[in-house]
Amino acid sequence: MFAIASQLEWSSRAPIAQVTTLQYRQLHALFLHAEKHSSFWRKRLREVGFDPRAKSFDVGTLPKLPVLTRQTIQLHAEEMRAYPAPVKWGEVVSFQTSGSTGQHLRVDKPEINGLLFDAVTFTDHIWNRRDFSGKLAVIRKEVGKDRGGPYWSRETLNLVTTGPRVQINPVGRDIGEVLDWLEAERPTYVTTWPSVARQLAYLKLQRGGPQLSIRQFLTFGEMVSEELHWILQKAFGAQLSDRYSTEEAGYIALQCEHSRRYHVTPLAIVEIVDDEGQPVPPGTQGRVLVTLPHSFIMPLIRYEVGDYAIAGTTCGCGRTWPVLERILGRERSIVQFPDNSRQFVPIDGLDWTAIAPVKQWQFRQIAADRIDLLVAPARRLTSAERSKLIDGVTDLFHGAFAINLREVDSIASLPSGKRPEFIRDF
């Protein structure tokens, strides 16, 4: 694992052409493997002219392949699997993912993917110069009932001595209970979803009390906004460090600690494309397609993750890994307007604390032209606060929706543990 992390660190400073050459060598190996062991991929690759006997690899083959949708995977999962993986890649692990769109998917990965994953996590620690002696708090559903352990995680075990890990499963718990736990544990670092971090921050600002200093929130799995950066700073004096990953694809990119841009790891090839599958120019928004050159058992080639991002160019930090300017997040951040246009809305872009003592909130689009704003306030809102909130939200959605404000006691998490700010519910 440390050897892989060292190579990753080297690659982040190496000329991009050199890294790309190595990456495409691995991609060629994946194409050969997939062509040999999977009927689905044999057909797909042959259709775009891939010749397994050719000596050299045409890098132009990749963008010719059709986009791989989640639905295609669900329909053709069995023909897509390319067994067996090389023996030296280790045992195969299967798991289910719900993904961003709530459609279930089974993904099989050999052990080496775990090693690669851990190496990226370790690289992220190094980039951020994390203090390994600190206490790490993990707030995510995967922890189950386990309360923690004497070391941070698999990637640090037997490599560096770390402080302890404490953890809590937030599913089914009130966010106040999670904050109580955090205030008792007083960790140095917190790992959780952005939506949970945001709600903890707003609740802490409402609750006040003794200062709770947290050095950094390590987030994953949802969109991160500028607002989240400053609200975590305000509530906990904390920095925010995001990792762009999905359950099925693993790590895709790490947030740069210098610029807040994202660097795509060499374990993934990312394309940002328009609705026709054509690459968009830097600075432009498009869909994220991911190709994983190490995905031998379940090849993911031009896989449409379901996220939008803004293509980037370079980063001032000097690292050569490709840059994503911003991750705009999931399909659900793209709101379908009454005129049928689909627009990206910065759903978390309001400074709620300046308007009203709001602990939790959520938008629910309940009809083509109606949005309910659910708010869990610290006390009953005044009519002035209510109308200010409604005005703010009406503006946010360009006056296109009838906004109905509903005060509730609390807003439950989804079964996954996430607490999305926007739900389409009709």
Q: Which is closer to Zn ion, CB of 178 or CB of 315?
A: 315
- The 8 Å CB, 24+ separation contacts for 391-394 are 392/350, 392/355, 393/350, 393/363
Please select the residue that binds Zn ion; options are 317, 350, 374, 400, rule is CB under 5 A: 317
CB of 374 to Zn ion, least distance (A): 38
Which residue, 38 or 121, has its beta carbon nearer to Zn ion? 121
Q: How far is the CB of 123 from Zn ion (least distance, A)?
A: 13
Least separation in angstroms between residue 241's CB and Zn ion is: 12
Please give the radius of gyration of the chain, using alpha carbons only, rounded to the nearest integer: 22
CA proximity to 222, closest of 248, 254, 194: 194
Q: Residue 120 CB, nearest distance to Zn ion (Å)?
A: 15
Tell which residue, 101, 104, 105, has the closest CA to residue 306.
101
* Between 212 and 256, CB nearer to Zn ion: 256
Taking the least distance from each CB to Zn ion, the nearer of 317 and 414 is 317
Distances (CA, A) of 131 to 185, 188, 238: 17, 9, 14
Among 85, 196, 252, 315, binds Zn ion (CB under 5 A): 315
- Restricting to residues 280-309, name those near Zn ion by CB under 5 A: none
Contact (CB, 8 A) for 424 and 336: yes
Shortest gap between Cβ of 377 and Zn ion (angstroms)?
40
Helix (H) or strand (E) holding 179: helix 175-185
Q: Which of 293, 320, 309 is nearest to 11 (CA)?
A: 320
Residue 284 CB coordination number (10 Å): 13
Return the number of the residue (287 or 319) whose C-beta is nearest Zn ion: 319
User: Measured from the CB of residue 321, what is the shortest distance to Zn ion in angstroms?
Assistant: 8
Scanning 106-114, 221-229, 300-308, 316-324 for contacts with Zn ion by CB under 5 A, the matching segment is: 316-324
Compute φ and ψ for 70, nearest 5 degrees: -60, -40
- Residue 212 · residue 237 · CB < 8 Å: no
Tokens of 170: 């937030």
Tell me the site size for Zn ion, rule CB under 5 A: 5
- Nearer to Zn ion by C-beta: 53 or 129? 129
Nearer to Zn ion, 68 or 324 (CB): 324
User: Under DSSP, is residue 253 helix (H, G, I), strand (E, B) or coil?
Assistant: strand
- Alpha-carbon distance 16 to 26, whole Å? 15
Contact code string over 140-169 relative to Zn ion, x by CB under 5 A: ------------------------------
- The reply to whether omega before 84 is within 30° of 0 (cis) is yes
- Residue 16 in contact with Zn ion, rule: CB under 5 A: no
We find the least distance from the C-beta atom of residue 225 to Zn ion, in angstroms, to be: 19
Candidate segments 38-46, 159-167, 302-310, 319-327, binder of Zn ion by CB under 5 A: 319-327
Residues 221-260: x/- map of binding to Zn ion (CB under 5 A)?
Answer: -----------------------------------x--x-
Return the number of the residue (55 or 129) whose C-beta is nearest Zn ion: 129
CB closer to Zn ion, 254 vs 297: 254
CB-based burial of residue 247 (10 Å sphere; 0-12 exposed, 13-18 middle, 19+ buried)?
middle
- What DSSP string runs through 326-386? EEEEEGGGEEEPTTS-EEE--TT-S-GGGTS-EEEEEEEEEETTEEEEEEEESSPPPHHHH
Contact 26, 89 (CB under 8 A): no
β-partners of residue 279 are 273
Binding piece for Zn ion, criterion CB under 5 A, among 20-28, 58-66, 204-212, 311-319: 311-319
Q: Are 166 and 138 contacting, i.e. CB atoms less than 8 angstroms apart? A: yes
Task: In angstroms, give the least distance from the CB of 12 to Zn ion.
Answer: 9
- Report the residue number, 231 or 264, with the smaller CB distance to Zn ion: 264
Q: Which residues make up the interface to Zn ion (CB under 5 A)? A: 256, 259, 315, 317, 319
